[in-house]
Structure 1
Amino acid sequence: MNVVLSIAGSNSSGRTRIQANSKSLEAFNIFGTSSITVLTAQNTHGVKETYEVAAPFVKAQIEAVLSNFNVSAIKIGMLYSNEIIDMVRDVIAALNIPIVIDPLFISKDGSKLLNDNAIANLKTLFPYATVVMPNRFEAYELFGYEPKDPSTLHKMLKLPYRVLIKNEAIELNDRFSFSFAIAANLALGKTLTESIEISKNFISLGIQHAPNLGHSINPIAHEKYQLALN
């Protein structure tokens, strides 16, 4: 069984982040491991409180996993501080496996979750990534991307790494499960194009069959993809 390591924050509601990781990976018969960077008190309405995990402990989690498992791919989410970003860069620079970066630093309503210095530092990870997956707000902050201005897209085509900008439907429902699914398929040896197409089908099925839970945005139905295959 292939193994994926997720370096990201938690979500107490189970709808996204590390908790969504295990559900997404199971749909593709992948074993999920994790290093948690930030704890959130959260429900389907939003984040109530956050608690940053110290960078040395984030590193200890990563080292514990890498020393014990043959990790086939890494998915990186919210890194939350410069110290964590610096440490993660040192780790991934020494690896030769697929790396998916879903650089959570601007929420779906446009609010910044990192300071400008940390955002600039985050970009130093991108050359090590198989694909970088910002939302539209993050794409503007990172690359100056404007959907209505084709010239900004042409500039992005010259970047030395691949970028996949998530649309609003995926962003609203579960950006994390989409990036986890891509990491899972890369771990299985699929090409990036194949991984994206499979993951689009996975997330579409999950959104269509989302259970009515909570009182705001429903979690997606991760299990529907596996059921559809059977």
Structure 2
Amino acid sequence: MHAVLSIAGSDSCGGAGIQADLKTFEAFDLFGTSVITVLTAQNTTGVKDIYEVNASFVKSQIISILEDFDIKAIKVGMLFNKEIIKTVKDVIKDLDIPIVLDPVFVSKAGSPLLETEAINELKDFCQYAKVITPNMYEAKQLFDYDENEVHDLTKLRELKTNVLVKKHKKVINGINYCIDYLYTKNEIKSFHTDYLETKNLHGTGCTLSSAIAANLTLGHNLEDSIKISKDYVYEAILKAPNLGKGNGVINHKVNKKTI
């Protein structure tokens, strides 16, 4: 069994962040380890309070894991501030393993989740990742992404990594699809699943990025890892347990034979 690492925030309701990542790793028969960057008091209706972890303690957590486990891939999620971003980057940037960076700094609704001065530090971190997985708001901040225009790859290439922009709803031949776009050095590829009308979407972004890290660990190339991961998230939404009064949690324990 291979070991993987998630460096991210804790979600007290268990649907996103570290908790979602560990459930996802287990779904793909991997052993998940974790480093917590921030504690959140939250549920499916929103974040009620945040308590950041000191950057030096974040570093101690990472080193303790790397000293003991043969980590095959790392998923990085919410880093919260400039000091934590720099600390995590400096510790893991030279590791010869895939890093999947989910640049959690703008919510699905467009609300900021990261100090403004920390965004440039996050941009610098991007170059050390195998792939980053921003939503459309984050992609706008990172490289002036506009889903309605022909995409200019010039600014994207400054990030020096592959970029998967998440969650575009498009109608094709009368059918609603959820489409993610992968931008590589030379091309753009799209990944489709049927669009599901549901409120059960809590933690889908965290789950997608951790599933990609899991599948890279299992030896799949990036494109196959994304496809398998999107299908996994689709099934997890489709079979959600309908828990929570807000944006409900998804079902991480789906049968992989259906993927």
Q: Same fold by TM (over 0.5)?
A: yes
Normalization by structure 2: what TM-score?
0.84
Aligned residues: 229
Give the structure 1 partner of residue 193 of structure 2: none
Corresponding residue number in structure 1 for 2:213: 183
Out of 200-209 and 155-164, give the one that drifted further. 155-164
Q: SS at 1:167's partner residue?
A: strand
- Say if 2:21 is the partner of 1:28: no
Residues 143, 156 of structure 1: 8 Å contact kept: yes
Matched with 2:124 is 124
User: Cα offset for 1:152?
Assistant: 3.6
Query: For residues 44-87 of structure 1, what are the alpha-carbon distances to aligned partners after superposition, in whole Å with 9 as ceiling and x for unaligned?
Result: 00100000000010011101100000000000011111111111
Does the residue aligned with 1:220 lie in a helix, a strand or coil?
coil
Give 2:79's aligned residue.
79
Partner of residue 233 from structure 2, selected from 169, 184, 203: 203
Runs of 5+ consecutive residues of structure 2 not aligned to the other structure:
169-177, 181-199
Instruction: State the one-letter code of the partner of 2:99.
Output: I
Describe the SS at the equivalent of 1:10.
Answer: strand
Q: Which stretch has the larger CA shift, 149-158 or 135-144?
A: 149-158
Residues 16-70 of structure 1: per-residue CA shift (max 9 Å, x gap): 0101011111110011001100000000001000000000100111011000000
1:35-184 pair list within 5 angstroms: 35-152=35-152, 155-156=155-156, 159-167=159-167, 172-173=201-202, 174-184=204-214
Deviations 1:165-211 (A, max 9, x none): 11056994410001010000011111101100100110010011111
Match of 2:253 in 1: 223
Q: CA deviation at 1:225?
A: 3.4
Q: CA deviation at 1:154?
A: 6.2
Deviates more, 1:72-81 or 1:162-171: 162-171
* CA positional deviation for 1:136: 0.4
The 1-side partners of 2:216 and 2:145 are apart by 26
Letter in 1 for 2:165: I
Counterpart-to-counterpart distance in 2, 1:29 and 1:56: 31
Question: How far 1:159 moved relative to its partner?
Answer: 4.9
Quick one: which amino acid aligns to residue 234 of structure 2? S
Deviation for aligned residue 1:160: 2.3
| Stretch deviating more after TM superposition (105-114 or 49-58) | 105-114
TM-score normalised by structure 1 residue count: 0.94
Gaps of at least 5 residues in structure 1 are none
Runs of 4+ that moved beyond 6 A: none
Aligned-pair CA distance for 1:221: 1.1
Contact 1:145 1:153 in 2 (8 A): no
Do 1:146 and 1:153's aligned partners in 2 also have CA atoms closer than 8 Å? no
The separation in 2 between residues aligned to 1:39 and 1:148, in whole angstroms, is 36
Question: Which structure shows the bigger proportion of residues in strand conformation?
Answer: 2
User: Structure 1's 121 and 217: CA in aligned 2 closer, same or farther, altered over 3 A?
Assistant: same
